Amino acid sequence: GAGGHGHATSQARIELPGVRHIIAVASGKGGVGKSTTAVNLALGLTALGLKVALFDADIYGPSIPRMLGVASVKPVANGKKVMPVTNHGLSMMSIGFMIAEDDPIIWRGPMVMGALEQLLRDVDWGTQDVMVVDMPPGTGDTQLTMCQRVALSGAVIVSTPQDIALLDAKRGLAMFRRVDVPVLGLIENMSYHLCTNCGHREDVFSHGGARRTAQELGVPFLGELPLDIRIRSGSDEGMPITLSDPEGDHALAYKAIARAV
């Protein structure tokens, strides 16, 4: 465009006056456990006594409704606004509530931006201490839009210990730095695996890479979560591990991360 930007991201800020802090949960690539982390971090924050909203910005792969056991719930209108869906003490919004689970989302960028904006603006969020945003993977248009148009307090980056995942995580970190969003730290997911039968430990995706990367780049290392079947099944069943085993090691790890951010 004539302004030199000509980009969908050079628009007005999206104001969320009732929300005090907005924390993005990001990853360099898909499948590393970003949504799982966003969900358990949000629940960890509620365990600290905070009022927490969870916003699913992963428009092409919305997993929040299923992970929180509200996949079949439809949001209800309240005047001109829509009420967030609530469960487990969280106020949530996701494109997943608006479309069938097996419907392909075949939108181009501008439609995605429009949907994101509507989902943020037209929801009656009420007052919230924190909004956790489950970002899409990578460093594309949506991520830039969220960074530039929403007043993010900071971002946490989830990675597996693998070099390839860490490379992408570094790219994500560089993006946040470029747009002046503070990086609150790195989380290593699928950090190791303990055999449920014998307790033998295997570093399936290697180990310690995220801690090393955090040190290298001068950001906090927030914690590590193992590859554990209970983390997966909790997400699939809509009862995340932070709730199903609140005093277990994993829940405590997520709560420690919640305190650290």
Judged by CB, which is closer to ligand ADP: 81, or 232?
A: 232
Judged by CB, which is closer to ligand ADP: 82, or 131?
A: 131
- Establish whether 29 is an annotated binding residue: yes
The amino acid sitting at 15 is: E
Closest by CA position to 147, among listed 44, 7, 46:
7
CB of 79 to ligand ADP, least distance (A): 33
Say if CB 208 and CB 176 are below 8 A apart: no
Judged by CB, which is closer to ligand ADP: 31, or 126?
A: 31
CB of 102 to ligand ADP, least distance (A): 17
- Establish whether 30 is an annotated binding residue: yes
Print the binding letters for residues 26-45 with ligand ADP: x by CB under 6 A, - otherwise: -x--xxxxxxx---------
Question: Which of the ranges 8-16, 24-32, 68-76, 104-112 carries the binding residues for ligand ADP, by CB under 6 A?
Answer: 24-32
Q: How many helices (H) and strands (E) does the chain have?
A: 9, 11
The footprint of ligand ADP on this chain (CB under 6 A) covers a number of residues equal to 18
β strands within the chain, DSSP E: 19-27, 52-56, 77-78, 81-82, 85-87, 90-94, 128-134, 154-159, 183-194, 201-202, 221-227
- Who's near 19: CB < 8 A, 6+ residues apart? 53, 125, 127, 128, 130, 131
Print the binding letters for residues 99-138 with ligand ADP: x by CB under 6 A, - otherwise: --------------------------------------x-
235 in contact with ligand ADP (CB under 6 A) = yes
Judged by CB, which is closer to ligand ADP: 63, or 242?
A: 63
- Who's near 23: CB < 8 A, 6+ residues apart? 41, 130, 131, 132, 133, 152, 153, 154, 155, 156, 184, 261
Relative orientation angle of helices 209-217 and 163-178, to the nearest 10 degrees: 30
- Establish whether 34 is an annotated binding residue: yes
63 in contact with ligand ADP (CB under 6 A) = yes
Q: Which residues of this chain interact with ligand ADP, rule CB under 6 A?
A: 27, 30-36, 63, 137, 189-190, 225, 227-228, 231-232, 235
Annotation: binding site for ATP: 28-35
